Amino acid sequence: MTKISDILANGERTISFEFGPPRTDEAMLVLEQTLVDLEPLSPSYVSVTYGAGGSTRERTHEIVTRIDRETSMTAMAHITCAAHSRSELVDIIERYQEAGIENLLALRGDPPKDLDLPPGDLDYAIDLVRLIREIGDFCVGVAAHPEPHPQSPDLESDRRHTAEKLAEADFAITQFFFDAAHYFNLISSLRALGVDKPVIPGIMPVLSIAGTKRMAEMQGSEFPEWFMAKFHAVQDDPDAVRKIGIDEATKLCRELLDGGAPGLHFYTLNRSNATREIHTNLGL
């Protein structure tokens, strides 16, 4: 398996896709078709998310190892430390090590408030990065918020904590956003704090106004008024909403790449069409 850090060190622009573990057999069939559809695009790597409190632990492991074993794609597993004991995390990491998985995304992973889960032994993602380093020679990624994490007291402290975390990891992937200025501000802040590791912008094309707005609010991202106004003008026409979402995501990707972003990370929601359209629009 190829380490993502080696790909980035070579100066290659990365294109990556993110999937979530399906909760039903029918949804698993959809993901399987999505993998078939996206593999010909030769992504630099793909990642698989991890449910709150370990709710998808086995299925995440199954999908990651299956992608590694049965496709040409490099797979990265997400791991969260919230609601996990240290011994549980050691077991998870060692299982990936035994399976030959070398790329891990270390996350705090705050569970939804309506889940009554026990506290974990590790408080922050940086603690999980350190634990992974103790266990093996992994490439370790972390998350970054172009707009502050919703639990951060202010932008300055958010940037400082992100810099400390990224200094011990190999690269970062951002939460999605809709204004490139947020990404470039993040990069500028990290550079000023002495951290120049690669930060890959996360892209979420808006295909559903309500769904995307809800996810944006959960992660503390702004849904700009100018952007919302475009959708409200055509809100009764799903095809028009979708076209605006694809067009605006394409524009954002071009601005990011032209501005020096080392790659793009697409949140696919386990569907392939929007990602393939944007990929084509960009001439990738």
What one-letter code names the amino acid at 96? Answer: Y
Q: Where are the alpha helices (DSSP H) in the chain?
A: 4-9, 25-38, 57-70, 86-98, 125-135, 155-168, 180-192, 209-219, 225-232, 238-258, 273-281
pLDDT for 12 equals 83
Catalytic residue (choose from 12, 18, 94, 277): 18
Q: What is the pLDDT of residue 170?
A: 98
Q: Would residue 18 show up in a list of annotated catalytic residues for this protein?
A: yes
The answer, as to whether pTM is greater than 0.85, is yes
pLDDT of residue 120: 87
The domain spanning residue 123 has which CATH number? 3.20.20.220
H or E element that contains 78: strand 75-80
Per-residue confidence of the chain (284 residues) as pLDDT tens digits?
Answer: 799 999 999 988 999 999 999 989 999 999 999 999 999 999 999 999 998 766 788 999 999 999 999 999 999 999 999 889 999 999 999 999 999 999 999 999 876 666 667 778 999 999 999 999 999 999 999 999 999 887 888 889 999 999 999 999 999 999 999 999 999 999 999 999 999 999 999 999 988 878 777 888 877 788 888 888 888 888 889 899 999 999 999 999 999 999 999 999 999 999 999 999 999 999 98
- State both tokens at 14: 């990365």
Domain limits at 193?
4-281
Establish how many alpha carbons lie within 13 A of residue 82's alpha carbon, considering only the half-sphere containing its beta carbon: 16
Q: How many folded domains does the chain comprise? A: 1
